[in-house]
Amino acid sequence: MAYSDKVIDHYENPRNVGSFEKGDDSVGTGMVGAPACGDVMKLQIKVAKDGTIEDARFKTYGCGSAIASSSLVTEWVKGKTLDEAIGIKNTQIAAELALPPVKIHCSILAEDAIKAAVADYKQKHANELPGAPEKQVAHG
């Protein structure tokens, strides 16, 4: 499998690897995928008072494309509002990393991970947020 330079770059120098302190209220965590399928992504967002994402972390069990997709979205979500973050499409991720067709599922998983992290954050803060909480996005 030939990987694009961008995939290799993210794979060799993954950005924002790690986990935030457990029990931090300003953190939303999304975990998607399954070991048996060959990829599990954990994405965490840290949300500032003004409702923008100030920081992000990831850990991924998966192929180089899965690692690169999740590393990339930790960069992309920073500075975005929650609504902007869930607007990130898998097609943008796939295009940025030049993923081949067999690896598109990695970008879908990364998109799902953002949605899951945002949903987790919103659920934690259901009472404070304006408007009705968004329905949790089922991953599947």
Task: Provide the binding-site residues for another protein, judged by CB under 8 A.
Answer: 1, 3, 11, 14, 17, 19, 31-42, 59-64, 66-67, 105, 109, 138-140
CA distance 119 to 96: 25
> Of the two residues 11 and 129, which places its CB atom closer to another protein in the complex?
11
Q: How far is the CB of 102 from another protein (least distance, A)?
A: 8
Cite the active site residues. Answer: 37, 106
Q: How far is the CB of 36 from another protein (least distance, A)?
A: 4
> Of the two residues 11 and 55, which places its CB atom closer to another protein in the complex?
11
Angle between helical axes of 90-97 and 5-12 (0-180°, round to 10): 100
- Residue 47, judged by CB atoms within 10 A of its CB (0-12, 13-18, 19+), counts as buried
> Of the two residues 13 and 127, which places its CB atom closer to another protein in the complex?
13
46 and 53 in contact (C-beta within 8 Å)? yes
